Amino acid sequence: MTATRPPLVAIGDLHGHLDLFERLLERIDREVPDARIVTLGDYVDNGLQIQALLDRLIALQAERPGRFFPILGNHDLALLRTLGWPGSVPDGAWYARWSARYWNPGRGTADAYGAHDLASFAAAFPEQHRRFLSDLPWFYDDGEVFCVHAGLDVGPIVPQRAALESKTLPAEPSFMPDALRDKARATRHDPSWERVVVSSHTHLPGQVMFSAPQRVCLSATSDHGGGLLAVQFPERRCWWTDGDEATEVRFPAGSASG
């Protein structure tokens, strides 16, 4: 990390947990007030504050230009595919897949908007929220740290970055891009990568994060009742909160190393 560049802090999957996000943000703002903040995706599904969280993220984009960089997760893309993205005709097959495979019992995003089927959800989901999610990039790359929801495959970053930049979808309509959904990539790393690849997405039981020279994966704990994690670069300093004030988690305690 260059001396003149503000530090970067990546925050794990949020899943509608605005309270956890606010506790981490308070600690980060106090200790690293000039930080660039990247949220690693999955803003919808399984939390109780989805609408309020999306409103807060939209506000932060306006308040912190050049300092706040949310990227897309697979749950967010599932919502968009349900609404017909990249078109605009709602997709019943994707709604069935999303509601059956992505939601914890009783914690569906449709319920958070007072909807109980595809038609009512499509009518209830605000255009501002849809536009925010559809406009999100699928990665953040500052030349030294590369943030993506699930991870990259071994091999050169450049072609993988190009596919993410073009928002390339798999040929099979029901599939997700591997960089956004493949949990096997949580610990996949390549010593020849010219950047540190950072993701969340995958729950790593008993671990704060997986760490290798060119790889960090924050355990995706918010969807499993385990609070929320953030990591600062280049130090790989970690914070965690379960709703109380965020505390520092000493690395490498409670983590894996590659």
Chain segment 155-184, per-residue pLDDT in tens: 999 999 999 999 999 999 999 999 999 999
The first and second tokens of residue 201, run together, are: 């997405």
In a domain, residue 131? The reply is no
In a domain, residue 133? The reply is no
Specify the number of domains making up the chain: 1
- Position 175 scores a pLDDT of 97
In a domain, residue 202? The reply is yes
Range of the domain at 58: 8-70+138-257
In a domain, residue 108? The reply is no
Instruction: Give CA angle at 137 (48, 257), nearest 5°.
Output: 75
- Position 251 scores a pLDDT of 59
Q: At what angle do helices 50-63 and 18-31 cross, to 10 degrees?
A: 30
CB 138 within 8 A of CB 180: yes
Segment 228-255 shows an average pLDDT of 86
In a domain, residue 111? The reply is no
Q: Residue 253's pLDDT band (boundaries 50, 70, 90)?
A: very low
The values of phi and psi at residue 106, to 5°, are 75, 5
Which one, of 150, 169, 172, 152, lies nearest residue 160 by Cα? Answer: 152
In a domain, residue 157? The reply is yes
Cis peptide before 86 (omega within 30 of 0): yes
In a domain, residue 127? The reply is no
Q: Residue 216's pLDDT band (boundaries 50, 70, 90)?
A: very high
In a domain, residue 97? The reply is no
Q: Which CATH number do you get for residue 195?
A: 3.60.21.10
The values of phi and psi at residue 2, to 5°, are -70, 155
- Position 4 scores a pLDDT of 79
- Position 225 scores a pLDDT of 79
The chain-wide mean pLDDT, for the chain, equals 94
Query: What SS3 state is found at 145?
Result: strand
> Rounded to an integer, what distance in angstroms lies between the CA atom of residue 77 and that of residue 42?
9
Query: What SS3 state is found at 189?
Result: coil
- Position 51 scores a pLDDT of 98
Which one, of 243, 220, 191, lies nearest residue 12 by Cα? Answer: 220
Chain segment 107-157, per-residue pLDDT in tens: 899 999 999 999 999 999 999 999 999 999 999 999 999 999 999 999 999
CB 171 within 8 A of CB 212: no
